[in-house]
Amino acid sequence: MMQNRLRIYLSECPRSDLRESSHLKDVDDALNCIEHWREEMTQFMVDMLKMKAVNPDGGGNGEYARALSVQRWLEKLGLKVERHDLPDARVPEGVRVSLTSVLDGVDTSRTLWFVAHLDTVPEGARELWASDPYEPVVKDGKIFGRGSQDNGQSIVSTLFALKAVKLQGVKPRTNVGVAYVSDEESTSNFGVIPLLEKNVFAESDMCIVPDFGTPDGSSIEVAEKGLLWLKIATKGKQVHSSTPEKGLNAHRVGLSVTLEIDKFLHSKYVAADPLFSPSLSTFEPTKSECSVDNVNTVPGLDVQYFDCRVLPQYSLKEVMQDIESIKKKSELETHAQIDVVRIQYEESSAPTPPDCEVVQKLKTTIKKLRGIDAKPIGIGGGTVAAYFRRKGIHTAAWGTTDETAHQPNEYCKIENMLNDAKVFAHVAVN
Q: Pairing mode, if any, of strands 142-144 and 411-413?
A: antiparallel
| 245 assigned to active site | no
Q: What is the pLDDT of residue 26?
A: 60
Check if the beta carbon of residue 404 is closer than 8 Å to that of residue 149: yes
- Tens digits of residue pLDDT in 321-359: 999 999 999 999 999 999 999 998 989 988 999 999 999
Q: Pairing mode, if any, of strands 226-235 and 282-288?
A: unpaired
- Of 40, 63, 119, 205, the active-site residue reads 119
In whole angstroms, give the CA distance from residue 381 to residue 212: 8
Check if the beta carbon of residue 417 is closer than 8 Å to that of residue 41: yes
Structural Rg of the chain based on CA atoms: 24
| 333 assigned to active site | no
In whole angstroms, give the CA distance from residue 112 to residue 209: 11
In whole angstroms, give the CA distance from residue 249 to residue 242: 12
- CA-nearest of 164, 197, 190, 178 to 115 is 178
Given a cut of 70, whether residue 147 has pLDDT beyond it is yes
Q: What is the pLDDT of residue 220?
A: 97
- Of 40, 184, 211, 302, the active-site residue reads 184
pLDDT band at 90 (very low <50, low <70, confident <90, very high): very high
Domains of the chain plus CATH, in order, are 21-224+353-429 (3.40.630.10), 226-346 (3.30.70.360)
- Bridge partners (DSSP) of residue 413 are 142
Beta strand extents in 46-149 (DSSP E only): 81-87, 95-103, 107-117, 137-139, 142-144
- Tens digits of residue pLDDT in 198-250: 999 999 999 999 999 999 999 999 999 999 999 999 999 999 999 999 999 99
Q: What is the pLDDT of residue 1?
A: 42
- Tens digits of residue pLDDT in 356-415: 999 999 999 999 999 999 999 999 888 999 999 999 999 999 999 999 999 999 999 999
